A and B are shown apart, each in its own frame.
Chain A
């Protein structure tokens, strides 16, 4: 990006236009002709934002201390002070440089102003007429602190000395990093006087002035840092002889340029190229330009921001549109593929439909007939298949003799087949019965089965009536034998057996009758009843 720096001294205005890695230097004399030339030149580069640096003898600096207060109050105090000190100066500025370490710990403030605005007026009028974007107006001496910082110079007392365009010498005194005094002297060599002698004379004079102001302690030493072009060093170096309180450091502007990254190195004897290069690296705050003076720069920044925003919006829109378009194409492609699949499936459907077999009998009748067969007949149970595993379980219990078996295929898991109890020929000597409820099962007589719905036979339910032979009065053994039989039947996959009537019902709610006599049979046949259920699909 191109930058345009205007360096104004009392005798010349230097234009430094940095563009595409090269610096174009133009100088305009401080007179009407120079202003005219400058305006004509400025019209050719009017779009490039400019910064005006003033290095004038009409620039005044005053150090002051104010109470340390909040930011708002401080600005009010500083504004009032500036108004008092520089009542008629339109270009004025203040910098808070530091804070006292003792006492009230006041803020150290440096006030600066251009005491004669007339010096600037022709140039500012030219800039205004051209409508060049002026980004700021800066004090060149105040920028000296940046140069010291960039060069890593941090003495307690430093006097920065450099040449200014128009045969001038700028001396700026820094205590630490704070500017305390600056002087601009016109270079007017006496006959036979070398620049070095002049520098020695001027710097010694400045030291004496500062010393008179009691700026130094007993052991303090003023370090004089002189920036000069290498070709001037032979005329300067030999004359610089320091003493205990004053030391000289002659710096080569080529080396300084290299150190701060200025390419190509500064060509002139002055330090203006070095100073403005430091500004390019880190733009400083504006010192003197009013908002009105800067309005073209403000509008230019706003224009750039708006155009950037517009381009950004357009890019967002295009990128968003392209991304959505990509999704549209993907979706559309998938949709077309889906449609092809649908058409393919429809073809398959037609093929299958055409290949469907046709029969003489209506398909519905066939489906119903087959449906009835599959649902009710195909898996209908048979009593023989039910009885075979049951018979195997009974064989393992020789004391048990089957009396009768009532079997039923049903869809009701709670069904109870009809059965008429058969009494034992050798009845046990004890039995239990409930009043009015002799039998737990129903008699088969009188059942009208033709009116009942035909079941698919999901369950097979059987009542098994049998006798268990055991020694007389050994009811405990008889009951155990029956329970073991029920348990064995329950182990057959799909079967479940429950004792409906035990050889001797021991429930407390029943009446128990028994008989003991001398002549009794050695054994007894105790009757019992099991309910066995087999569920289809589990075998």
Chain B
């Protein structure tokens, strides 16, 4: 082995050594160069994958938005038909109470409507494009049967004009001694509801 690395050995093996060095260099350049290029391609591919994902998300979102918009439009048209975006019409309340009292055989209906206010929503929910307004309505009913009371309240809640969700109600029997005579009210109820309307802020 010492002959290989002697002066004469090195001289005689100069060409093979140069060939080996050149081969190593070529191998390093070939592998290293292609690896670098591969990494660049992979980076580009990852970037493309990211853009593809974003494009998919964008298309999905706009499709959902379109679907939501179409669905919302249908709902919104029904809301408009119920007069939700119109100013509060208190005369409708008076007429509604009168009509439902007769319809559900209620002995008496007393109601109070508070001044209209901006409705505070539970959970801190807010809708920045519309003003949600409500008037608190308190009803006091006297009826022969609990079913009449429930029917009346149900009818108020489902009234075709505006939205009036009944959110609390206390229903109790009237003392039997006082209710012994025929056709006397046996049930009385006190219920609360919100008379809700909306206003587009842009139109304000």
- A interface, CB within 8 angstroms of B: 291, 295, 298-299, 302-303, 306-307, 309-314, 316-318, 320-321, 324-325, 327-328, 331-332, 334-335, 338-339, 341-342, 345-346, 348-349, 352-353, 355-357, 359, 361-377, 380, 382-384, 387, 402-411, 417-419, 422, 425, 444, 449-457, 465
Contact A313 B23 (CB under 8 A): yes
Task: Give Cα distance in the complex from A289 to B42, angstroms.
Answer: 60
Contact B28 A317 (CB under 8 A): yes
B23: chain A residues within 8 A (beta carbon): 309-314, 317
Partner of B129, one of A317, A364, A384: A364
B200: chain A residues within 8 A (beta carbon): 361-362, 365
Known contacts A325-B34, A384-B151: A338-B45 contact under CB 8 Å = yes
Partner of B16, one of A295, A310, A383: A310
Contact B19 A306 (CB under 8 A): yes
Contact A334 B121 (CB under 8 A): no
Known contacts A317-B27, A339-B48, A365-B200: A352-B121 contact under CB 8 Å = no
B96: chain A residues within 8 A (beta carbon): none
Interface residues of B in 165-188 (CB under 8 A from A): 165-173, 176
Contact A370 B76 (CB under 8 A): yes
Task: Give Cα distance in the complex from A455 to B200, angstroms.
Answer: 22
Contact B24 A450 (CB under 8 A): no
Known contacts A303-B16, A411-B123, A455-B167: A370-B72 contact under CB 8 Å = yes
Task: Give Cα distance in the complex from A239 to B164, angstroms.
Answer: 141
Contact A338 B172 (CB under 8 A): no
Known contacts A335-B44, A352-B62, A377-B163: A384-B27 contact under CB 8 Å = no
Told that A384-B151, A417-B168 touch, could you supply 20 new A-B pairs with CB distance under 8 A?
Answer: A302-B9, A302-B16, A307-B20, A311-B23, A314-B26, A328-B34, A328-B41, A339-B48, A345-B55, A345-B56, A357-B73, A361-B200, A367-B68, A376-B165, A409-B165, A410-B167, A417-B170, A444-B190, A449-B136, A453-B121
A348: chain B residues within 8 A (beta carbon): 59
The list of the 4 closest CB pairs from A to B, nearest first, reads: A317-B27, A404-B172, A321-B30, A368-B127
Contact A307 B166 (CB under 8 A): no
B42 (CB) vs chain A CBs: closest residue: A331
Contact B45 A298 (CB under 8 A): no
A374: chain B residues within 8 A (beta carbon): 75
- B interface, CB within 8 angstroms of A: 1, 3-4, 9, 12-13, 16-17, 19-20, 22-24, 26-31, 33-35, 37-38, 41-42, 44-45, 48-49, 51-52, 55-56, 58-59, 62-63, 65-66, 68-73, 75-76, 79, 84-85, 114, 117, 119-123, 125, 127-130, 132, 134, 136, 146, 150-151, 153-154, 157, 163, 165-173, 176, 190-192, 194, 196, 198, 200-202
A349: chain B residues within 8 A (beta carbon): 55, 58-59, 62
B132: chain A residues within 8 A (beta carbon): 372
A341: chain B residues within 8 A (beta carbon): 52, 55
Known contacts A317-B26, A325-B34: A403-B75 contact under CB 8 Å = no
Partner of B150, one of A371, A387, A450: A387
Contact A331 B76 (CB under 8 A): no
How far in angstroms is the closest Cβ of chain A from B147? 9
A465: chain B residues within 8 A (beta carbon): 172
B146: chain A residues within 8 A (beta carbon): 387
How far in angstroms is the closest Cβ of chain B from A317? 3
B33: chain A residues within 8 A (beta carbon): 321
Contact A369 B130 (CB under 8 A): yes
Contact B41 A331 (CB under 8 A): yes
Partner of B170, one of A331, A365, A384, A406: A406
Task: Give Cα distance in the complex from A521 to B101, angstroms.
Answer: 41
How far in angstroms is the closest Cβ of chain A from B33? 8
A377: chain B residues within 8 A (beta carbon): 163, 165, 196
Contact A342 B16 (CB under 8 A): no
A408: chain B residues within 8 A (beta carbon): 167-169
Known contacts A324-B38, A342-B51: A402-B173 contact under CB 8 Å = yes
Contact B168 A335 (CB under 8 A): no
Contact A318 B30 (CB under 8 A): yes
Known contacts A373-B79, A405-B172: A456-B122 contact under CB 8 Å = yes
Contact A453 B122 (CB under 8 A): yes
A411: chain B residues within 8 A (beta carbon): 122-123
B28 (CB) vs chain A CBs: closest residue: A317
Task: Give Cα distance in the complex from A363 to B163, angstroms.
Answer: 21
Known contacts A306-B13, A311-B23, A362-B200: A375-B192 contact under CB 8 Å = no
B66: chain A residues within 8 A (beta carbon): 352, 355-357
Task: Give Cα distance in the complex from A353 to B31, angstroms.
Answer: 48
Contact B52 A454 (CB under 8 A): no
A307: chain B residues within 8 A (beta carbon): 16, 19-20
How far in angstroms is the closest Cβ of chain B from A210? 44
Partner of A335, one of B30, B48, B79, B122: B48
Contact B20 A309 (CB under 8 A): yes
B16: chain A residues within 8 A (beta carbon): 302-303, 306-307, 310
B123: chain A residues within 8 A (beta carbon): 411, 453, 456
Task: Give Cα distance in the complex from A394 to B135, angstroms.
Answer: 35
B28: chain A residues within 8 A (beta carbon): 317
How far in angstroms is the closest Cβ of chain A from B28? 7
Task: Give Cα distance in the complex from A369 to B198, angstroms.
Answer: 8
B190: chain A residues within 8 A (beta carbon): 444
A352: chain B residues within 8 A (beta carbon): 59, 62-63, 66
How far in angstroms is the closest Cβ of chain A from B37? 6
Q: Would you mind naming 27 contact pairs between A and B with Cβ atoms under 8 Å apart?
A: A299-B13, A302-B4, A303-B16, A306-B16, A310-B20, A310-B23, A310-B24, A320-B31, A321-B33, A325-B34, A327-B38, A328-B38, A331-B42, A338-B51, A345-B58, A356-B69, A357-B69, A359-B76, A366-B73, A369-B84, A382-B166, A384-B154, A407-B169, A407-B171, A411-B122, A455-B167, A457-B165
